[in-house]
Structures are given as structure tokens and as C-alpha cells.
């Protein structure tokens, strides 16, 4: 999203938060509705992702926040044993996520985990941004949170087939992918990854490093458009365009085992 639009929305959020309305039941519901509307505007044609979710498989939502993607994934996995693993480390978001799952009736399809996905298991620190409900991120200090590699979590569940992993973790995307090497090797799930050069560099990575790592598993980058998945011929040039606009983008990574949308 363009940084100017985002800053305007965050200013409005801060003014409403300061009134105390968000601590009330109606205020929380208003926040949820507003946030989901904002994400719909920001995310673009994400319904095209349904093409990559096969009945009976597992979808992983890393950085689930309050459930914009989670409830869509829960619809798409269907009734044939499909599941969603929704991962969120921030305590206020996790409460809202549980509430959304309950209200939408997806308790039997969604498993919510209060932790941070990372390159290893252990304890990490979460920096909480009170002015931006979607900007909590791993840092050198902050709130201690449980961390786990996706390989650990999926291994504990008997290695179910994973068809899609969505990752939006404010610059720690490479760290999450490092902790999912066995998943990528075994099943080549489709990957929908937020790419923000500035935030990635804050975590010791960059867009090129993420792409190079994924290429070792056979992944190539695609742009998710209304007509389907379009190959990105020069990811470095695209990333520079995002940077100049003060923004970021979601990139779809696919292998020959996960063909683009028809």
C-alpha cells in the first residue's frame, strides 16, 4: 500500500483509539470491521489464492493478526478434513482472532497458535506498536513470546500436506522460511509472502536473498492479479519500484509442482 494512504488511516486509528471506544464491545466490532475492510483494499485480488488450496490439505497463516486471511482460508479448505493453522504472537490480536473464528463457526477448521514463527524454536521478543495494530514485529527487546519453526509445528502434527503458506511478519519473512525448509522440500506449497525491502534489511535479509533461498527449492516469483498469476521477470526492479513508492508488495512464489492459476 502507498505509505501516504496508510499513514492517513493510521492517524484516524490513533484518534479513535484515544477516545476509548475500542475498549468497548461495539468499538471492538467496529475496529474489526474497519480493519478487514482496510485489508480488503490493501490485499487486492486475494480470492485467486483459493486456486492453490486443495480439499483436505493444511493452510498456514503466519502473522494472522485478527483473521483477514484466516477466515478466507477456512472457507476454502472445505469440509473434507482441511485445516488452517493460524499463527499470531500479539495478545490483543490473538483474542480478536479467537473471537472471529468462534463467530464465523470455524472452530473445527482453524487451530490458533499464540506464538511467533521463526527460524528456530525458543523465546524471542516482540516489539508492540500501539499506533499500528499490524506493525508488531520481532526485535532485540520487547515482550517475550514463544517462537517455533514451522517444521517443528508441522512435524508435531504428523506432516500433513501443506498446500499454501501465507507470511506477513513485518520483515521476518526470511526467518520464517528458514524454519520451513523441510516443508518446502517435501511438498512445495504455494507461498504468499509480503516483501518489504526496508523491513527485510532490518532483519538482516533483503528481497534478493529471500528469492535466492526459495530458488534452491525450485520457486519462482509471480504477481497475483485479477486474471491470475503472472511471472515476475525481474524481481529486483519490481522491489525498487515498491521502495520508491514507500510501500511493499505481496509476492506469490510457485514451483512446477504448484502451477499458476489457469
The answer to whether 112 and 166 have CB atoms below 8 angstroms apart is no
Residue range of the domain that includes 189:
46-254
- The pLDDT value recorded for residue 262 is 46
As given in the structure block, the three cell numbers for residue 37 are 475492510
Q: Are residues 201 and 92 in the same domain?
A: yes
Domain membership of residue 261 (yes or no) is no
Q: Are residues 11 and 139 in the same domain?
A: no
- Strand ranges (DSSP E) for 37-100? 58-62, 83-87
Domain membership of residue 228 (yes or no) is yes
117 CB-contact burial (10 Å; exposed 0-12 / middle 13-18 / buried 19+):
buried
Grid cell 500500500 in the structure block, residue: 1
252 phi, psi to nearest 5 deg: -95, 125
| pLDDT tens digits along 35-91 | 555 555 565 688 999 999 988 999 999 999 999 999 999 999 988 899 999 999 999
- d(CA 139, CA 159) in angstroms, rounded, equals 30
Using alpha carbons only, give the angle 98, 126, 69 rounded to the nearest 5 degrees: 40
**pTM above threshold 0.75:** yes
Structurally, the chain folds into a number of domains equal to 2
Measuring CA to CA, how many Å separate 147 from each of 102, 115, 196, 249?
A: 25, 6, 22, 25
Domain CATH number, residue 114: 3.40.50.150
- The pLDDT value recorded for residue 261 is 46
Q: Are residues 235 and 105 in the same domain?
A: yes
71 contacts: CB under 8 Å, gap ≥ 6: 100, 101, 104, 106
Task: Give the length of the chain.
Answer: 262
Domain membership of residue 37 (yes or no) is yes
| pLDDT tens digits along 216-229 | 999 999 999 888 89
Sheet strand arrangement including 58-62: 110-113, 83-87, 58-62, 162-167, 190-195, 249-254, 220-225, 228-231
Q: Are residues 163 and 206 in the same domain?
A: yes
- The pLDDT value recorded for residue 33 is 53
Q: Are residues 12 and 123 in the same domain?
A: no
What stretches in the chain show pLDDT beneath 70? 1-44, 131-134, 246, 257-262
Q: Are residues 101 and 186 in the same domain?
A: yes
Q: Are residues 148 and 29 in the same domain?
A: no
Q: Are residues 50 and 26 in the same domain?
A: no
- The pLDDT value recorded for residue 236 is 86
Domain membership of residue 29 (yes or no) is yes
Domain membership of residue 94 (yes or no) is yes
3-state class (DSSP) for residue 81 = coil
245 phi, psi to nearest 5 deg: -85, 0
The answer to whether 25 and 52 have CB atoms below 8 angstroms apart is no
Last residue of a domain, one of 27, 43, 59: 43
Residue 123 β-bridge partners: 146
Q: Are residues 96 and 157 in the same domain?
A: yes
Q: Diameter of the chain by CA atoms? A: 52
Q: Are residues 109 and 17 in the same domain?
A: no
**Nearest 10 degrees: Cα torsion 22, 144, 208, 243:** 30
Q: Are residues 53 and 38 in the same domain?
A: no
- The pLDDT value recorded for residue 14 is 53
Domain membership of residue 259 (yes or no) is no
Q: Are residues 145 and 168 in the same domain?
A: yes
Domain membership of residue 260 (yes or no) is no
- The pLDDT value recorded for residue 43 is 58
Amino acid at each position: 500500500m502507498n505509505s501516504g494512504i496508510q499513514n492517513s488511516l493510521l492517524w484516524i486509528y490513533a484518534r479513535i483509539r484515544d477516545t476509548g471506544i475500542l475498549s468497548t464491545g461495539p468499538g471492538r466490532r467496529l475496529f474489526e470491521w474497519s480493519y478487514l475492510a482496510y485489508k480488503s483494499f490493501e490485499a487486492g485480488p486475494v480470492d485467486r489464492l483459493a486456486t492453490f488450496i486443495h480439499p483436505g490439505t493444511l493452510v498456514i497463516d503466519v502473522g494472522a493478526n485478527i483473521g483477514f486471511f484466516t477466515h478466507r482460508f477456512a472457507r476454502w479448505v472445505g469440509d473434507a478434513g482441511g485445516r488452517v493453522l493460524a499463527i499470531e504472537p500479539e495478545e490483543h490480536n490473538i483474542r480478536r482472532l479467537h473471537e472471529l473464528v468462534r463467530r464465523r463457526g470455524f472452530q473445527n477448521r482453524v487451530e490458533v497458535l499464540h506464538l511467533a514463527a521463526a527460524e528456530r524454536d525458543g523465546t524471542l521478543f516482540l516489539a508492540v506498536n500501539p499506533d499500528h495494530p499490524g506493525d508488531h514485529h520481532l526485535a532485540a527487546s520487547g515482550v517475550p513470546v514463544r517462537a517455533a519453526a514451522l517444521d517443528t509445528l508441522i512435524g508435531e502434527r504428523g506432516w500433513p500436506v501443506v498446500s499454501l503458506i501465507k507470511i506477513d511478519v513485518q520483515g521476518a519473512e526470511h526467518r520464517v522460511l528458514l524454519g520451513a525448509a523441510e516443508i518446502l522440500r517435501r511438498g512445495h506449497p504455494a507461498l504468499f509472502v509480503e516483501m518489504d525491502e526496508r523491513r527485510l534489511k532490518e532483519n538482516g535479509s533483503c528481497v534478493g536473498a529471500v528469492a535466492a533461498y526459495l530458488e534452491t527449492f525450485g520457486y519462482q516469483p509471480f504477481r497475483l492479479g485479477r486474471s491470475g498469476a503472472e511471472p515476475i521477470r525481474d524481481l529486483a526492479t519490481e522491489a525498487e519500484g515498491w521502495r520508491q513508492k514507500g510501500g511493499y508488495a505481496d509476492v506469490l512464489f510457485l514451483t512446477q509442482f504448484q502451477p499458476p492459476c489457469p
